[in-house]
Structure 1
């Protein structure tokens, strides 16, 4: 993550040094050509001059190819690192970060595509300037000291302005993060916005204020960076004026030395201007590195190490939660949870909004790791966020998501089980082929849940977890789910844990768990005739 290989740095320095020496050789020969009347008789210098040009060109061509390879490997490897980090972070971390900030960080990472090029140009320019100054010291150390002081004063102004601009740039990045949030609201809340003129206008007013502020700040930054660039040009004119008019007047430089000084300074002006014009990129890259490092620090987790264990097939017999707690935030906590789930059981989970049902499902599935307590699988303590545990689960969340591609180990093509499941879920009239693209098109919410059920069945996991799966089904299919599908899955040996509010079908469960204020306040066995509506809903 944002690490530069030391060998690459050494190669970069070596290239820059050789290229700078070649360029300095070109400057030296040019200076001789201008000041030495016998230059034309020195044929070896003419051959050397053109040889240096060819060597420098070929070296640049070769090294720029290396830079391009390294740059793109650097950026895309960091993007892979980000994807891996996100996969191995916890649900709570992702909820805290928010998708908008993640997209903002991806945008920041694209800035790194310029980083090796910036380093190359900076190193080349600095070496060229240092070698040119060294050459000028040989010609006249007094004149060179004056020039160095003038350049240092101009550079100080650049650094001072650049430091102030970096703070403004950080504010601009934050405003862009807010803009991403507004766009997310527009896309995700599109229907709600379309039917409410007030809501739509208020959101647009927020977006307008955000973009107006960002535009003004961006223009401010652009104008200031542009002012720095213009100042660099006129600052060099001042230096030339000092050499041509002031230094000779004080007898510090001779007329013969003036030509050499101006020639060298003309070559120095390129690297100097390059350093100055890159101030914008320096500032943006520095801010991007700071933000990306901060982001990765926030999602740093030891789950990556835990996920490396080799996945094993484990027969599920019993799952126990002992004194398990999870602190969701300062105002709500889950637990203590003491619960035993046996193979083949059908358990319904009920409770009001905010009672802890979804938090428990997230802990059950390993998305939330208990802050205390232990989980026993077949009487052996396990971590719930490891493959050995999670491979036992097929889960359909209330906000189920159908991926655009098949990332599982089964194929739908020529899959007879898939075709029979389409018939079972009464989707065979909706999907008339076994193409992956057909199974991943846009569905209604109820049909989407049925497709997720088909995928869950193809996973062949022993535990099926459903978070309000039937809530989006029509009355006919809801009845079909409870009276046909659940008994069928139970007969197949599935352990079913379902969050539901459909009290008309509670008799199809073996047990009912009622949550309230983050705790299980009732664990009712249907087989023992403990079930009744009065017992269930009364505290």
Structure 2
């Protein structure tokens, strides 16, 4: 992907029109000075214009033909340049939307494991910083083209006036441009470093926002985070940005003076070695003065184009980093099944160099509809990885996953995913029920809000929840409402009851889970609430990436309770308390 290509692919006709109009404006610009010089030098040389005067709105106009041509060129410049810019501005908005949409689609279709490696700060920086920068650079194309045509036209006029002068000027400009590149390259190096540091700054800001509660509890911790994390990230971006922008500004100012150096060299040096008439010299000086503007604009565009190219490289690298998942892209209907079986399934985490890290397996496990499976394990035991294999967010690297007798693979995984609903420990709560519409939806949502004790705290109005400003436990209950409405084939809950009070914890284990089981759903629960282990039909104990037990024998229960006791137990062995109002959710 490149800047010009992105615009051309979106609307080639509009892009061509913008560049053509820019070229026309450049030609008109280049024609103004020769026209004025011709009118001032010898109007009589042009038949029909001697003593050609006219009165317009009470004003006497000399050399009316030249004046009319001058006005025509100005109007043409105004219309052509404005049309070119407006076309490209409107096109740039379309392109920026398409680029962001392309990023959205790539993120939504990328493997979860790759997104976890890339990280949220890098994705946010790409969407909020890189895309606008690329579009801003591409938006300069018509003006860039206009000034290039103007410059070429004026240099052509210099060649017409005096060939030796033209070649002398070209040599001076060439020397100036080459020497300009030295500070520009130095500036680019620092600007690239500043952009690379921006990802780290976004990560630091994320820590500030998501870790606000923890930082407020300890002044020393907060000050240390500000000093060694936020401040260092800010300083890296600021210092490299300052250096890069300072050197670039020096280069720009030097570039602005290149034309004046050329004028001085022509007026004070060139005339001593070459014969040139005063009228020719005046024409040359005026042409060079007129060229000052396009050269300055072209040089001033360089930093913006440079930053756009840096941003474009970051975007291209990001697209290469998050490839599309190897699954069928067609919209797949939900697939029905009775049992999900893991046969020697293994998974391992790979770093950027392809080196293997933590791994789990081989795993042999069966999850059946109409049964509740508990997964228990200590920190680092692999239970969260197993959960993502169950929900098909991760695809096994070894063994096979079967739904009944059908092997899970790229051709059918989308269909089986349609029947999964999960609330992970790091879940995201949407402000609406996605995937369902209709008047009857509000009645269903309202009944579930009552059953889960959320009535009066949040309402479902105009297709969305009125607020998400809830406690952690209330947010999990609201996420449960949305998940329940999906009527999935398999439900996975990762420590859902951890933030619930005793009443809702008991309601979850004694009503919600059995209710889903009675409806023929497969239910997988990651939990350390050993008081409720007897709710399970299957108890899976994970240790060091392996399944050590998976039944309800006394020994398995004892081992599971021992593992659970080693974890941070949220409300363990608290009496169930009163049953919440209405158990219709179950």
- With the shorter chain as reference, the TM-score category is over 0.9
1:533 aligns with 2:557: yes
Unmatched 5+ stretches in structure 1: none
1:192 aligns with 2:211: no
- The counterpart of 1:5, out of the listed 8, 12, 20, is 8
Counterpart CA distance in 2 for 1:348 and 1:438 is 31
TM-score if structure 2 supplies the norm length?
0.86
1:344 aligns with 2:376: no
Report matched runs for 1:264-303 at 5 Å.
264-303=287-326
TM-score if structure 1 supplies the norm length?
0.93
1:335 aligns with 2:361: yes
Alignment match, 2:383: 357
- The counterpart of 2:38, out of the listed 29, 32, 46, is 32
TM-fit CA distance, 1:413: 7.1
TM-fit CA distance, 1:502: 1.4
Counterpart CA distance in 1 for 2:338 and 2:275 is 94
- The counterpart of 2:400, out of the listed 374, 381, 384, is 374
Change in 2 beyond 3 A, CA 1:255/1:51: same
- The counterpart of 1:492, out of the listed 519, 535, 538, is 519
Contact kept in structure 2, 1:376 and 1:382, CA below 8 Å:
yes
Secondary structure of 1:4's partner? helix
- The counterpart of 1:503, out of the listed 511, 514, 530, is 530
Secondary structure of 2:254's partner? helix
Unmatched 5+ stretches in structure 2: 51-62, 351-355, 564-586
Change in 2 beyond 3 A, CA 1:340/1:142: same
Aligned length: 534
Contact kept in structure 1, 2:25 and 2:80, CA below 8 Å:
yes
1:22 aligns with 2:25: no
Contact kept in structure 1, 2:186 and 2:244, CA below 8 Å:
no
Counterpart CA distance in 2 for 1:156 and 1:432 is 66
Secondary structure of 1:30's partner? helix
Alignment match, 1:144: 166
Task: Decide which moves more: 74-83 or 132-141.
Answer: 132-141
1:254 aligns with 2:277: yes
Counterpart CA distance in 1 for 2:200 and 2:439 is 41
Counterpart CA distance in 1 for 2:298 and 2:459 is 63
Change in 2 beyond 3 A, CA 1:412/1:406: farther
Counterpart CA distance in 1 for 2:136 and 2:456 is 53
Secondary structure of 2:269's partner? helix
- The counterpart of 1:47, out of the listed 68, 93, 96, is 68
Contact kept in structure 2, 1:125 and 1:274, CA below 8 Å:
yes
Alignment match, 1:170: 192
Report matched runs for 1:21-100 at 5 Å.
21-38=27-44, 41=50, 43-100=64-121
- The counterpart of 2:492, out of the listed 448, 462, 465, is 465
TM-fit CA distance, 1:117: 2.8
Contact kept in structure 2, 1:71 and 1:115, CA below 8 Å:
no
1:518 aligns with 2:545: yes
Alignment match, 1:180: 202
Contact kept in structure 2, 1:365 and 1:393, CA below 8 Å:
yes
RMSD: 2.3
Counterpart CA distance in 1 for 2:562 and 2:212 is 40
Secondary structure of 1:316's partner? coil
Contact kept in structure 1, 2:445 and 2:460, CA below 8 Å:
no
CA deviations on 1:66-105 (whole Å, 9 max, x unpaired) are 1111111111110111111111112211211111111211
Counterpart CA distance in 1 for 2:349 and 2:413 is 21
1:424 aligns with 2:451: yes
Contact kept in structure 1, 2:446 and 2:455, CA below 8 Å:
yes
CA deviations on 1:168-214 (whole Å, 9 max, x unpaired) are 01111122222211111111110111111121111111222332343
Counterpart CA distance in 2 for 1:412 and 1:439 is 17
Task: Decide which moves more: 408-417 or 355-364.
Answer: 408-417
Contact kept in structure 2, 1:327 and 1:371, CA below 8 Å:
yes
Alignment match, 1:105: 126
Contact kept in structure 2, 1:319 and 1:375, CA below 8 Å:
yes
Counterpart CA distance in 1 for 2:461 and 2:149 is 64
